[in-house]
Structure 1
Amino acid sequence: MEDTDSLIAFYRARRAELGPSDGSRWYLLIKEIRLLKGCGIDEAHAIALTDPAWRRWLEQQINSNPACHKAALRHIRRNGDASLIAQQDERLAVL
């Protein structure tokens, strides 16, 4: 338990050190949620996206950052109807 608590504290502190546009903050958040909730990556993504600020940030990233856009399209293909993202014309939207 102590190792888990110290990892969670590390992820939070590291996220606070990074700038708001640093994509590493998303990965640290997902790692923190997985430890806190004991869940898989897909559930952690769903939990993170309940926060409106993270939803807006992710939607902006998947529509402006080519690597994020590619990962989002991969997510849609892999998850089909269960996807957290949908393609709406030329844009991608977080559901």
Structure 2
Amino acid sequence: MQGGRSRQRQRCGLRQRQARRRRTLLAAGLNTATIATVLPCLREDADRLVPTCPDLLQHLHGERDRITRAIEDLRTSRAALTRVIDAAPEEVEKEPARRA
């Protein structure tokens, strides 16, 4: 009976570690399909994930570039929207400017 409980605790610990890895990668901006692809090539070292496959770094660089482009696109969109807001005539009540 003891061995069964020990194996069950090990499986539970593994599931918790995998869930923690998934949450970390989701927070890093990766989608679930990408996470499923890269997860086998990562290990935990203290509280960080460490790539273990040579091709993974190139893939992660590509994901970072994708996120950088998305940020730049959002900045462009925000600037365009700000220009529209700023073009409102005086008789239109403007909300106090909130600049980030």
| TM-score, normalised with respect to structure 2 | 0.31
| TM-score, normalised with respect to structure 1 | 0.32
Answer 1 or 2: higher relative contact order, Cα 8 Å, separation at least 6. 1
Q: Which has the larger radius of gyration?
A: 2
